[in-house]
Amino acid sequence: MLESVAGCPGMVAAAVRHFRSLRTLRRDHGWIHTLLEEAENERMHLLVCMKTFDVGLGTRLAVMFGQYVFVGFLSLTYLIQPKALHRFVGYLEETASQTYFDLIKTTTTPGTYLHRDWGSLKAPTIAKNYWRMADDSMWVDVLKNLFADETNHRDVNHTFASMEDDDPNPFVQKHLDDAAKAWHLENKEKK
């Protein structure tokens, strides 16, 4: 369920910064892209989980309700105290990181319920496509990717919480490197 609202903070923060940039006619210094990337990545986490496990109407309604409530809270918080929201999200991401670490450990430990239930579970196609995983990837490999993503979100949010609103985004070069790598892979696949 945490993944159902995890995509909200990045989207809210990006929207607030976007509209402030338009109102003030000032640059954002690269934060919007990082925040949108985080929101999109968290959305993919939710889609991967929902495609892997049968999700009923009750869960879908809980997801929608959680998002409506959470977006209002996050918007108000970001308008009043953006650093506080980034710090809060950083701590949420720490919790998510620990949760995924524990899931990986338990899933790979013989004799546990998760090892029994998830040990031979194949990675869904959506995950293999998103993270460019091998065809024989397992659910535990998906968990490892989720863990890596959450640790990155944790670090990004704690970094943003320690910065001033008009400081340049220190993650811009990483985005450029990731884009270059993606273009290289895409061109390689076309050949």
pTM: 0.89
Mean pLDDT computed over every residue of the chain: 92
Separation CA 21–CA 119 (nearest Å)? 48
Alpha helices, H only, 81-133: 82-107, 113-118, 125-130
Return d(Cα 38, Cα 30) in angstroms, integer: 13
Name residue 1's amino acid. Answer: M
pLDDT band at 3 (very low <50, low <70, confident <90, very high): confident
Residues 114, 120, 121: CA angle, nearest 5 degrees: 85
pLDDT digits (tens, 9 = 90+) for 35-59: 999 999 999 999 999 889 888 898 8
Contacts of 48 (CB under 8 A, 6+ apart): 124, 126, 127, 130, 142, 146
Indicate the pLDDT class of residue 184, thresholds 50, 70 and 90: confident
Q: What pLDDT score was predicted for residue 164?
A: 95
Predicted confidence at residue 189, as pLDDT, reads 74
Estimate the crossing angle of helix 82-107 against helix 57-80, to 10 degrees: 140
Task: Report pLDDT for 163.
Answer: 97
Work out whether the CA dihedral 125, 178, 3, 116 comes out positive or negative: positive
Which residue has tokens 């997801």? Answer: 63
79-132 per-position pLDDT tens digit? 999 999 999 999 999 999 999 999 999 999 999 999 999 999 999 999 999 999
β-sheet bridge partners, residue 138: 122
Compute CA 107 distance to the chain's CA centroid, rounded to the nearest angstrom.
21
The mean pLDDT value for 158-186 works out to 87
